[in-house]
Amino acid sequence: MTIMDIEQARFNMIEQQIRPWDVSDMHVLNIIQSVPREAFVSESQKNLAFADMEIPIGQNQVMMSPKIEARMLQSLNISTEDNILEVGAGSGFITACLAKMGNHVTTCEYFEDLSSIAKTRLQEQQVDNVDFLTGDIFNFTDTLDSYDIIAVTGSTPMQLNIFSKLLRNHGRLFCIIGEAPMMTARLITCVAENSYREENLFETVLPSLLSTSIEKVFSF
């Protein structure tokens, strides 16, 4: 694709996929516009970078479709002071968006090869306010800080209180709950200590969050 083709594809993605999916926040649209999505896919997938589809990235994981990514970013209402936890770095694209919108990102990627690729891509884009954890997120939860924003990019069959407990007051958590063929994207806001407001956003399907310590996960 030529530079002109890429920019036209990016414009079409925003105008034909993202805006019609109720994404109107100009800050989110500008971030999606400015972060080069094509830099976060493999060379053989460049022609798919702006398509309305999930892109396989290896290890049976996917890069979410652009409209899902944009809706997630919009729902989290991120400010420049926010410290962010991302569960599942994947391609690194959303990591880059979060890093440009917030203050600092801690991202945890289960697979070492995906983590290494995402880290390299972020370095190439000169995104330097990101720390990486590699492995099972539930092996780190006892040592993690609290966060203003938590973005969980893999689905879970049930809601996990282990994440909401990491939210600071007024913090926001995006997660996808349920099992195929029907899952629900949900925004959870900490309104006071141990008190949360839940909002169902939209229906979608996403690969499940991986864990080797499943007995720790469903502790409610």
Q: What is the pLDDT of residues 113-138, one digit of tens each?
A: 999 999 999 999 999 999 999 999 99
Domain residues for the domain of 43 are 3-217
Predicted model pTM = 0.94
- DSSP symbols for 95-153: HHHHHHHSSEEEEEESSHHHHHHHHHHHHHTT--SEEEEES-GGGTTTT---EEEEEEE
Q: CATH no. for residue 99?
A: 3.40.50.150
Domains contained in the chain, number: 1
pLDDT-based confidence at 219, cuts 50/70/90?
very low
Burial classification of residue 147, based on how many CB atoms lie within 10 Å of its CB (0-12 exposed, 13-18 middle, 19 or more buried): buried
Number of neighbouring beta carbons within 10 Å of residue 158 = 11
Q: What is the pLDDT of residues 71-111, one digit of tens each?
A: 999 999 999 999 999 999 999 999 999 999 999 999 999 99
**C-beta separation of 157 from 169 below 8 A:** no
Say whether pLDDT at 179 is over 70: yes
Average per-residue pLDDT for the chain: 93
- DSSP symbols for 30-44: HHHHHS-GGGGS-GG
